[in-house]
Structure 1
Amino acid sequence: MNKLIRFQLSLMMFLEFFIWGGWFVTLGTYLGYNLEATDVQISTAFSTQSWGAIIAPFIIGLIADRFFNAERILGILHLVGAVLLYLMYQSTDFIEFYPLVLGYMIAYMPTLALVNSVSFNQMKDPAKEFSFIRVFGTVGWIVAGLVISWLSWDAAEGRQDGLLKYTFLMVSIASAFLGLFSFTLPKTPPTADRSKKVSIVETLGLDALGLLKDRNFLMFFVASVLICIPLAFYYQNTNPFLSEIGVDNPTGLMTIGQASEVLFMLLLPFFFKRFGFKLTIIAGMLAWTIRYLLFAYGDSGELIFMLLTGIALHGICYDFFFVSGQIYTDFKAGSKYKSSAQGLITLATYGVGMLIGFYVAGLITNAYLTGEKMHDWETIWIYPAAFAFLVMLLFALFFKNEKIDKKDIEI
């Protein structure tokens, strides 16, 4: 890969996740403070991510893989997204905002697969080359959070003055730039045989359902769906929680989680080979429980270290469960169902699992509303902590340890 293409792909990844991290992290805080949204309405807005994940395979499988170059569809979707983000910036109430965020997530979620397709198409050895490109996405997410806190949009005065709306303007500009920039990316033509009919079952990865006959994979599949419920609490509640209890620069501090993700991604191969898949997954789920207990009993004063530690556990929570799960899925699927199995897990987690999770998180958060924009956070965080621990116990009891060949765990 020459330097120009490497630069193009790195910038593409940076912008892709700068855009997502630049508004999604502070969404709950913005909706609560600026659009007077209820906790249930906030959970409904976050669930648009799940609807986007459910619809994305249709766009990728039925359009991108068969008829048009991936970089062109990427460009069009981001240009459409730029318009929707700008309209979200101008919204003044939740009723007006919701259809815009739903439309945006339907446009954005397919781009996560498209940037990977564009990248892989330029690589001779993706196992070695992709991580260098993908890490710029994490850097983009971190930079977005730091910019928001540096400009004090998420500070107490900024929230009261409605400055968080400028996050949508910022990422609208970035999305427009990425949309135009995408047309300069290396050509990535469709790979599917257009003469061959592809069923909806294959498009959604449902032809891999046969893998559920394997007891171990079924247990992993169920655990993957269930663990998305506590995951939804993190995405939906962390920024509003930190803001509400008076933590300074909450969005900037949350980037510690992304830095942690990079670190533990590097440590994952060692941990995976040393302790095996089952213990790695259990460590990931246990980290969810510890994180939420730290959130429940920490505060913005002397115990703020507990909150920071909980945020820093994001690397273990995400990498040890979800990345390990992708490796395990690839191992179990074999050559016949590699793509379908990954699609099935994505649909089950970011689609169905997160959809349920955001709904549950909204109901529980709303149930412990103690005053205007005030919550009983200690009790709220106990729920995902207990649920993650229960899922971990079920997995530990019913998942039978199995050996995965070293060649199958290359990251």
Structure 2
Amino acid sequence: MHSLTRIKLSVMMFLEFFIWGAWFVTLGTYLLANLETSGTQVGMAFLTQSIGAIAAPFFIGLIADKFFPAQRILGILHLIGAGLLWQASVVADFDSFYPFILVYMIVYMPTLALVNSISFRQMKDPSKEFPPIRVLGTLGWVVAGLTIGWLNWEQTNQLDLTFKMAALASVLLGLFSFTLPSTPPVKKGEKTTFADLVGLDAIGILKNRSYLLFFLSSVAICVPLAFYYGFTNPFLNEVGMEAAAGKQSLGQISELLFMLLMPFFFIRLGVKKMLAIGMLAWVLRYVLFAFGDVESGYWMLIGGIVLHGICYDFFFVTGQIYTDNLAGERFKSSAQGLITLATYGVGMLIGSLLSGVIVDAYQLPSGGHDWRTIWLIPAAIAGVVLLLFVLFFKDRNTAQPISNPLTPEAEAAPAVGKLP
């Protein structure tokens, strides 16, 4: 890959995740403290990312793959998103806030698949070339969290500024996107099918039984993920951790380190062990949160945060590369949209609904929460998913390219490629 291309893709990843991390980490605290919402309403706010993820395959499977270059769509979506984030920062109640954040997430979530697609299309060996670029996204999230902690926005009740900061970064990425390497549609001029319209032309990848189990595991593991995204920051602030958003950035620093080490782990562990270790880290993280405190158990809270690197890299980044290897050139964009649908769509939707209800159910008369019970619930869910995955997943070494399952060619496609 040309060095200038690598730099541009790295800047793209940095801004993509800086924007998300700038407001998403502290969203729960902002809603509970500033807009005085319930836990269920916090869950509803985080559910918007699931709605956006469900809409993502439409943008990827139809628009990016058939009509317009991916980098142009990325730019337009971020420019629209900037205005929506700014408007969300100035409203004073949840009923006014919710429509802006809902539409924003419908606009933002497709960009997660777009940045992956733009990156993968420039690479010859994604398992080696993608992690060093994707790690800049992690760095962007870290910088966002440290900035919030450094400016003390949590303690001074100024979390509305997080949305304004994200809006400005979104304008920057929107304009920068038009300078990215050209990523033209790979199916331009082809007849549009129903599968294209709903982003299902990549669904043939599910014929691979190993991938089908990974797909279902991705849905299930994102149920406990919703607890982490929605309530870690309120939890840490409630138990008395200072500059909680800044401390949470330790998770992304860990993610950055493990991202750099992923090529080494791929060669020695393979897909199944990587995914299993990632899920085991989820169980341990929630157990540490359940029994940690800001006094003698402070190390548990920090340990639970630091485990985020293994949780995310070993499962989600491994899954993105696994998906890219199986998809084949023709369906790379649609396949990334499909896995986004499974994780941030269906899985997070279920988790967002469940987590808000559970947090409300374990609210104490004093106004706090029974966090030990709350965190043991996602720990148990992650443990069950891990057990089923280890028992039934088979790490096949040959990748089977996909084709549209609605056409006769789907059964005739030859096997190509190897998994790392």
TM-score with structure 1 setting the length:
0.89
Question: 1:333, 1:8 → 2: CA distance?
Answer: 25
Q: For 1:18-56, what per-residue CA distance to the aligned partner results, in whole angstroms no more than 9, with x for missing partners?
A: 111000010001000000111111111111111111112
Whichever residue aligns with residue 219 of structure 2, its letter is: V
Cα 1:302/1:56, change in 2 over 3 Å: same
Partner of 1:217: 211
Identify the residue that residue 389 of structure 1 maps to in structure 2. Answer: 383
Q: 1:83 to 1:303 in 2, by over 3 A?
A: same
RMSD of equivalent CA atoms: 2.6
* Residue 260 of structure 1, aligned match among 220, 234, 254: 254
Q: Which runs of 5+ in 2 are unaligned?
A: 400-416
The number of residues matched between the two structures is 403
Matched, 1:237 2:231: yes
| Larger CA deviation: 354-363 vs 213-222 | 213-222
Aligned to 2:168: 173
- The residue number in structure 2 matching 1:408 is 418
Is the contact made by 2:117 and 2:336 (CA closer than 8 Å) also made in structure 1?
Answer: no
Q: Measure how far apart 1:329 and its partner are.
A: 3.7
The residue aligned with 1:63 is 63
Amino acid at match of 2:375: W
Tell me how far apart the structure 2 counterparts of residues 11 and 63 of structure 1 sit (CA, whole Å).
Answer: 24
State the partner residue of 2:28: 28
State the distance in 1 between where 2:322 and 2:2 align: 32
Q: Which moved more, 1:369-378 or 1:241-250?
A: 369-378
**What is the alpha-carbon distance in structure 2 between the residues aligned to residue 216 and residue 5 of structure 1?**
34
CA–CA distance in structure 1, aligned partners of residues 397 and 67 of structure 2: 41
Measured after TM superposition, the shift of residue 316 of structure 1 is 1.5
Which among 184, 189, 194 is matched to residue 188 of structure 2? 194
Counterpart residue identity of residue 302, structure 2: L
- What TM-score, normalized by structure 2, do the two folds share? 0.87
Distance 1:3 1:399 in 2: 38
Aligned to 2:403: none
Alignment partner of 1:107: what SS?
helix
The offset of 1:59, in angstroms, is: 1.9
Counterpart-to-counterpart distance in 1, 2:188 and 2:2: 31
Comparing 342-351 with 4-13, greater Cα deviation is found at 4-13
Find the aligned partners of 1:324 and 1:7 in 2 and give their Cα distance.
22
Give matches, 1:296-307, under 5 Å.
296-307=290-301
Deviation string, structure 1 residues 177-215 (Cα, Å, up to 9, x no partner): 3223333x1462532343212324245553444554554
Contact 2:77 2:111 in 1 (8 A): yes
Q: Which residue of 2 aligns with 1:294?
A: 288
- Amino acid of the structure 2 residue aligned with 1:96: S
Assess if the C-alpha contact under 8 Å between 2:58 and 2:198 holds in 1: yes
Partner of 2:93: 93
Query: 2-side partners of 1:118 and 1:326: how far apart?
Result: 13
- Aligned residues with identical type, % of pairs: 60
Q: What's the offset of the Cα at 1:128?
A: 4.7
Q: Which amino acid aligns with 1:384?
A: P
Preserved CA contact (<8 Å) 1:216 1:400: yes
The structural deviation recorded for 1:270 is 3.5
Aligned ranges 1:5-404 → 2 under 5 Å: 5-120=5-120, 128-155=128-155, 158=156, 162-183=157-178, 185-186=179-180, 188=182, 190-202=184-196, 204-333=198-327, 339-371=333-365, 373-400=367-394, 402-403=396-397
Maintained 8 Å contact 1:121/1:188: no
8 Å CA contact 1:205, 1:342 repeated in 2 = no
Query: Bigger shift: 341-350 or 49-58?
Result: 341-350
Distance 1:214 1:57, change over 3 A: closer
- TM-aligned CA deviation for residue 294 of structure 1: 0.3
Q: Deviation digits for residues 64-87 of structure 1, max 9, x if unmatched? A: 333334333322222211111111
Output the amino acid matched with 2:160.
Answer: K
Contact 1:42/1:362, CA 8 A, preserved across alignment:
yes
